[in-house]
Amino acid sequence: MRTTTLLATIAVLGAALGAPAWAGDHHHKRERQPQASAPAQTGYDHGMLVVAHSAGPGQPGHGWQYFSDPNAQRAVVISPQGDYYLSQGRGLRWVAAAQQQA
């Protein structure tokens, strides 16, 4: 039951973060210049903004970190274990696991 709640929370968050990508006018998408912000040479992506949430201890989403870049239409979610998930407007997909201590 706990896993189902967690997956449902991630799906709802992915849908909420992906909604702006579907809400725009895509009729002239090929005519527009891409709006992608590239990470700086330091590896820090200045376009990412923190998405605040109020999940407390024992609630779904507690310990998760959410970031969004509205201009590039992408979002990143970091689990409490350190796993990274990326959304580029088509739902979340796992991209990296937490590194194990040697």
Q: What is the pLDDT of residues 33-63, one digit of tens each?
A: 555 555 555 666 677 889 888 888 888 888 8
92 pLDDT band, cuts 50/70/90, is: confident
At residue 43, the pLDDT reads: 60
In a domain, 40, yes or no: no
Specify if 39 maps to a domain. no
- Helix residue ranges, H only, the chain: 2-23
Closest by alpha carbon to 68, among 92, 96, 32?
92
Segment 12-37, tens digit of pLDDT: 777 666 666 556 555 555 554 555 55
Domain limits for position 102: 1-22+48-102
- The total of structural domains in the chain comes to 1
Least confident of 42-46, 78-82, 89-93: 42-46
Q: Is the pLDDT of residue 11 over 60?
A: yes
CA distance 77 to 92: 8
